[in-house]
Amino acid sequence: MPYLYLAIAIVSEVFATSLLKASGEFTRLWPSVGVVLGYLLAFYFLTLTLRVIPVGVAYAIWSGVGIVLVTAAAWVFYGQKLDAPALAGSGLIVAGVLVINLFSKTAGH
């Protein structure tokens, strides 16, 4: 269950972060509500994750996967351009998350 909780935390955080631009600096009601609810849900599920997975590992996964997914969302929804260095950096982030999960003894498996 902790990895399911972590996945929910990540998706909630990506949802909230992706709505920040649409909120118009918190001048538009519904995107702003989505930002607040998304972050509340993200932090709640992150706390559930921390019952089992060490905080450093959980945060590395949460932030790494979140960065890649927010970048993808910005590309899809806001037309953000992704050049070769951005794609390479995202690939390195994914590789880092995989190394932690597959090889680290602190990953909480």
97 within a domain of the structure (yes/no)? yes
83 within a domain of the structure (yes/no)? yes
109 within a domain of the structure (yes/no)? no
Condensed to tens digits (0 to 9), the pLDDT of residues 28-60 reads 999 999 999 999 999 999 999 999 999 988 988
Q: Are 29 and 10 in contact (CB under 8 A)?
A: no
Q: What's residue 26's pLDDT? A: 97
Q: Are 52 and 64 in contact (CB under 8 A)?
A: no
31 within a domain of the structure (yes/no)? yes
108 within a domain of the structure (yes/no)? no
Identify the residue whose tokens are 């909120």. Answer: 23
pTM: 0.87
Q: What is the domain range of residue 40? A: 2-103
60 within a domain of the structure (yes/no)? yes
Q: What is the overall mean pLDDT for the chain?
A: 93
98 within a domain of the structure (yes/no)? yes
Q: How far is CA 15 from CA 41, 44, 83, in A?
A: 10, 15, 23
Q: Is 53 helix (H, G, I), strand (E, B) or coil?
A: coil
Count the domains in the chain: 1
